[in-house]
């Protein structure tokens, strides 16, 4: 499939790499292509592209226009701007997988949640509001990014990934993509419509405290019943 990954950071690169390995056609979206390619060294996108030559780089808008599925991996504080830059028209009728979290670093560490996008709102809902004709599916945002795309590296993949969104067929397609990453259907819990993003984004505070206690992000939750 043609997939756009919105965000050029570590998570964006990891998704782009994994998705090309799975034979998808990938464009990574960025605000300013020239500026993104300026950065030298191993952390730069130029270096990443030299090792992953099939991954293309384009503006958020061009990446969104190209893709059938768009994955938003931008930082929560930038997400609304990134989605606006991608453009509701370019995202129309498409599936947008949102894995962002509204982390607020302005009160010190560990971060709290951005008040505007938490409790009775969420980034997932905010994106759905900005792009009413897009099928927003929230998933994968409750864990270390290494696990998102390679769940079986931990406990044979027997840990939880939530999914929510208003469109049932879009959720089914996203579950297929999750299956490609290694997610088993029994590890994916459908919480209902996009308002459940409030709950999945609100798991970040406990995740961050456990991370602080365990000194590793290589964990996830399993629901025991």
Summarize as ranges the residues that interact with a copy of itself (CB under 8 A).
107, 112-113, 115, 118-120, 154-155, 158-159, 162, 189-192, 196, 198-200, 202-203, 205-206, 208-210, 212-214, 216, 218-225
Q: Are 194 and 124 in contact (CB under 8 A)?
A: yes
In angstroms, give the least distance from the CB of 186 to a copy of itself: 13
Nearer to a copy of itself, 49 or 141 (CB): 141
Nearer to a copy of itself, 81 or 116 (CB): 116
Nearer to a copy of itself, 36 or 200 (CB): 200
In angstroms, give the least distance from the CB of 154 to a copy of itself: 6
SS3 assignment, position 206: helix
Burial class (CB in 10 A: 0-12, 13-18, 19+), 25: middle
In angstroms, give the least distance from the CB of 188 to a copy of itself: 11
Q: Are 163 and 142 in contact (CB under 8 A)?
A: no
Residues paired with 59 in a beta bridge: 30
Nearer to a copy of itself, 62 or 201 (CB): 201
In angstroms, give the least distance from the CB of 93 to a copy of itself: 27
CA pair distance 120, 131, nearest whole angstrom: 19
Q: Which helix (H) or strand (E) holds 9?
A: none
In angstroms, give the least distance from the CB of 192 to a copy of itself: 7
Nearer to a copy of itself, 20 or 150 (CB): 150
In angstroms, give the least distance from the CB of 100 to a copy of itself: 17
Residue partners of 162: CB distance under 8 A and separation at least 6: 138, 139, 142, 188, 189, 190, 191, 196, 199, 200
Nearer to a copy of itself, 54 or 112 (CB): 112
Q: Is the peptide bond before 110 cis (omega within 30 degrees of 0)?
A: yes
Question: C-alpha angle with apex 175: 16 to 158, nearest 5 degrees?
Answer: 90
């Amino acid at each position: 499939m043609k997939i756009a990954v919105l965000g050029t950071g570590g998570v964006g690169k990891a998704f782009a790499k994994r998705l090309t390995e799975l034979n998808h056609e990938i464009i990574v979206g960025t605000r300013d292509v020239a500026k993104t390619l300026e950065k030298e060294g191993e952390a730069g996108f130029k270096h990443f592209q030299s090792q992953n030559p099939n991954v293309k780089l384009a503006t958020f808008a061009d990446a969104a226009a190209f893709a059938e599925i768009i994955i938003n991996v931008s930082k929560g504080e930038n997400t609304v701007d990134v989605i606006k830059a991608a453009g509701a028209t370019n995202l129309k009728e498409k599936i947008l997988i949102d894995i962002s979290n509204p982390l607020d670093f302005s009160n010190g560490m560990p971060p709290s949640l951005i008040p505007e996008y938490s409790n009775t709102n969420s980034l997932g809902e905010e994106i759905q509001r900005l792009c009413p004709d897009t099928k927003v599916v929230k998933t994968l945002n409750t864990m270390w990014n290494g696990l998102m795309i390679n769940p079986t590296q931990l406990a044979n993949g027997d840990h939880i990934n939530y999914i929510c969104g208003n469109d049932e067929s879009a959720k089914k397609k996203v579950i297929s993509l999750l299956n490609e990453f290694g997610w088993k259907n029994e590890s994916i819990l459908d919480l209902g419509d996009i308002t459940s993003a409030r709950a999945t984004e609100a798991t970040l505070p406990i995740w961050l405290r456990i991370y602080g206690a365990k000194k590793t992000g290589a964990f996830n939750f399993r629901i025991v019943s």
